[in-house]
A and B are shown apart, each in its own frame.
Chain A
Amino acid sequence: MKMFSSYLKEMKIASRGFYFYIEILVAVILLLVVLFAINPEPDGKQVEYLYYDMSDEVFDYLVDKDITEGRARWIDDTEFELNPIAFELKNEDTGKVVSYDFKDSKTVTARTFVGLREKTGKIGKTAHILDSEEDALRLSFQNGNVAATTTVNEEGDFSYRYFLQGYETDRYSNMLYVLHTYSQDEIDAQMDTQVIRETGANTVPMDNQEAVVPIFVVIAGALMGIFIIMAYVFLDKDEGVIKAFAVTPSSIWNYLVTKIFVVMTTVIISSTIIVIPIMKLRPNYLLFYLFLLVTTFAFSSLGLLISSFFDTISKAFGVLYTIMITLALPAFSYYISSFDPVWLRFFPTYPALQVMKDLLMGQGDIANVILYSLVFLVSGILLLAMANSRFKKTLTV
Chain B
Amino acid sequence: MIKVENLYHSYNNNEKFQAKNVSFEIKEGEVFGFLGPSGAGKSTVQNILTGLLPLQKGKVTVDGYDLKQVHNKRFNRIGVSFEQSNIYSKLTALENLKYYADLFDVPTRDPEELLKLVGLEGKGNDRAGSFSKGMKHRLTFARSMINNPKIWFLDEPTTGLDPAIAATIKDIIRSEKAKGTTSFLTTHNMYIADELCDRVAFIIDGEIKLIDTPKNLKQQYGEKLVEIEYVKEGEIYKETLKTVDDSDKEKIANIIKSYEIKTMHSKEATLEEIFIQVTGRGLI
Residues on A facing B (Cβ under 8 Å): 1-2, 5-6, 9, 12-13, 16-17, 239-241, 243-251, 392-393, 396-397
Contact = CB atoms under 8 A, between A and B. Distances in A.
Interface centre among A6, A13, A248, A396 (most CB of B within 10 A): A248
A136 B80 CA distance: 81
Given A2-B102, A6-B99, A247 B50 contact: yes
A244 B102 contact: no
B82 to A, nearest CB: 6
Contacts of B73: 249
B116 to A, nearest CB: 21
Contacts of A249: 72-76, 103-105
B52 A396 contact: yes
Interface string B75-96: 1101010101111111100010
A244 B103 CA distance: 11
B52 to A, nearest CB: 4
A228 to B, nearest CB: 16
B284 interface: no
A397 B51 CA distance: 11
Contacts of B264: none
Nearest to B106: A249
Given A13-B91, A240-B82, A241-B86, 18 more contacts: A5-B103, A6-B99, A6-B103, A9-B99, A16-B90, A239-B86, A239-B88, A241-B87, A244-B87, A244-B143, A247-B52, A247-B75, A247-B80, A248-B72, A249-B105, A392-B70, A396-B47, A397-B53
Contacts of A12: 90-91, 95
Interface of B: 47, 50-54, 70, 72-76, 78, 80, 82, 84-91, 95, 99-100, 102-105, 140, 143
A229 to B, nearest CB: 17
12 contacts: A2-B102, A6-B102, A9-B95, A13-B90, A240-B82, A244-B87, A245-B103, A247-B75, A249-B105, A250-B72, A392-B70, A396-B52
> Secondary structure at chain A's binding surface: helix, strand, loop or mixed?
helix
A134 to B, nearest CB: 70
Nearest to B79: A247
A250 B103 CA distance: 6
B51 A247 contact: yes
A6 B100 CA distance: 9
Contacts of B72: 248-251
A245 B87 CA distance: 10
- Taking each of A16, A243, A247, A250, which has the highest tally of chain B beta carbons within 10 Å of its own beta carbon? A247
A2 B106 CA distance: 12
A253 to B, nearest CB: 10
Contact of B100 (A16, A239, A244, A392): A244
B49 to A, nearest CB: 10
B127 to A, nearest CB: 8
A247 B95 CA distance: 18
A245 B50 CA distance: 12
Contacts of B88: 9, 13, 239, 241
Contacts of A6: 99, 102-103
A47 B199 CA distance: 91
Contacts of B105: 249
A371 to B, nearest CB: 36
Nearest to B72: A249
A244 B82 contact: yes
A301 to B, nearest CB: 21
A395 to B, nearest CB: 9
